[in-house]
Amino acid sequence: MAEAQVPVTVLTGYLGAGKTTLLNRILSEQHGKKYAVIVNEFGELGVDNDLVVNADEEVFEMNNGCICCTVRGDLIRIIEGLMKRKDKFDGILVETTGLADPGPVAQTFFTDDDVKARTRLDAIVTVVDAKHFLSQLAQGDEAEEQVAFADVILLNKTDLVSDDDLEKVEDRINSINRYARIHRTQKSRIELDAILDKGAFDLKRILEFEPDFLHHGHDHDHGDEVASLSFSSDRPVDPDRFQKWMGALLQLKGQDILRSKGILAIDGAPRRYVYQGVHMMMDADWGTPWKDGEKRSSKLVFIGRNLDGENLKRGFEDCLK
C-alpha cells in the first residue's frame, strides 16, 4: 500500500499553558478530520475517544555513545501500532509533558526508518502561558527549549496580561527563536489550519525572514541563553562541502545547536534542497522545483546556545561556489 506519510504535530508547552484545552478542542470540534492523539495523562482529557492513545514518554539513549541522541521508543511502537489500523488518520498529534525536552520526540522522526516511512514531522507547536512565561524561564531550561524548538507558538492567556507585558513576552520569545510564527490566543482558541498540517517544519517561515547575514550586533554574548541566527546567499551551494561541514559541525556542537534548518539552492539542481536537523541528527530531501526566472537563494537557520556567528558564517561561506 503506497500511502502518503501522515503528518505529525508535536504539542509542547509548560505545565498549565493550555495544551489540554487545545487538545480537547481538536478532539471535540467538528472539523471533518480524523486525528490520533498521543497523550501522557489519559485522565486529563475530558473527551473519551478511541483515537486517544496513552504514552509514557519513554526516552532512551541510542547505543552510539552520543548523549544527545535520545529517542522516544514508545512513540515508535505506538506509530507502528496505529499504522496497523484499518482506518487511516489525517494526522497524529503528540502531546509532551510540561517539563519535557522536545528533542527526543523530534529526533524519533529522524531516527527510525519505519516511522520515517509512514509519518513526517509536520511542526512543533508550543503553547506559551503569557502570564507566567518569564518566571518559568527562571525555573529551568524547559520553557526556553520548548520555545527554541517551536515552529508555531500559541501565545496563550493574552487576556490575563497587559499589552506592555505581552510585548515583553513576545520580545523574549523572539530573542530565543525569531523563526517561529506566533499566534496570540485566549483559552487556546485558534483555527486548526494555523497549527496542523503546516508542512515540513514550516520552512516557509524561514524564507519570510531577512537574514542577519551582514547584520552585526547579533553576536553579542547571550551567555547560556538560547538564540537564533540565520544566513543567506545568492551563490549556489556545493552539496558535498555542505554535507561535510554540517556533519562535522553537528558532531561537534550538536548538543548546543537545538534546531538547524535550511533551504538551499544546489549548484545545477532543478529543485530546492530542504535540510533540517535536531541536535546531532539531520535529514535532507529535495523540495519543490525552482520556477523559471526565480531568484535562487539559500537560507540557513540555527537555534541554540553559544552560537558562534562568525564561525558559522565562515563555515557556510566555504560551502558556496
Which of 83, 99, 192, 284 is in the footprint of other proteins by CB under 8 A? 83
Cα separation of 275 and 5, whole Å?
18
Q: How many residues bind other proteins (CB under 8 A)?
A: 28
Compare residues 46 and 81 and give the one whose CB is closer to other proteins.
81
**Binding status of residue 53 toward other proteins by CB under 8 A:** yes
Cα separation of 283 and 115, whole Å?
14
Which of 4, 30, 32, 86 is in the footprint of other proteins by CB under 8 A? 86
**Binding status of residue 50 toward other proteins by CB under 8 A:** yes
Cα separation of 283 and 261, whole Å?
9
Binding mask 6-45 for other proteins (x = CB under 8 A): ------------------------------------x---
Near other proteins in 55-74, by CB under 8 A: 56, 58, 60-64, 71, 73-74
Smallest distance, Å, CB 41 to other proteins?
10
- 168 in helix, strand or coil? helix
Cα separation of 279 and 310, whole Å?
20
Spatial contact of 231 and 300, defined as CB atoms under 8 Å apart: yes
**Binding status of residue 77 toward other proteins by CB under 8 A:** yes
Separation of first and last alpha carbons in the chain: 42
Compare residues 114 and 197 and give the one whose CB is closer to other proteins.
114
> What secondary structure does DSSP assign to 169-214, as a single string?
HHHHHHHH-TTSEEEE-STT---GGGTSS--GGGTHHHHHSPP-SS
Instruction: Using the Cα atoms of residue 107, residue 109, residue 113 and residue 115 in order, give the sign of their dihedral.
Output: positive
Strands 70-72 and 59-61: antiparallel
**Binding status of residue 280 toward other proteins by CB under 8 A:** no
Provide the grid cell at 273: 534542497
Task: Specify the residue for cell string 496563550.
Answer: 156
Give the CA distances from residue 271 to residues 196, 214, 285, in Å, rounded to whole numbers and listed in that order.
25, 27, 10
Provide the grid cell at 55: 504514552
Binding mask 101-130 for other proteins (x = CB under 8 A): -----------xxx----------------
The span of 75-83, 230-238, 250-258, 280-288 binding other proteins (CB under 8 A) equals 75-83
Smallest distance, Å, CB 74 to other proteins?
6
**Binding status of residue 54 toward other proteins by CB under 8 A:** yes
Compare residues 76 and 134 and give the one whose CB is closer to other proteins.
76
Smallest distance, Å, CB 111 to other proteins?
8
Q: What residues does 278 pair with on adjacent strands? A: 259, 281
Which of 21, 31, 76, 239 is in the footprint of other proteins by CB under 8 A? 76
Task: Specify the residue for cell string 536537523.
Answer: 277
Smallest distance, Å, CB 251 to other proteins?
18
User: What is the binding site for other proteins (CB under 8 A)?
Assistant: 1-2, 42, 50, 53-54, 56, 58, 60-64, 71, 73-74, 76-78, 81, 83-87, 112-114
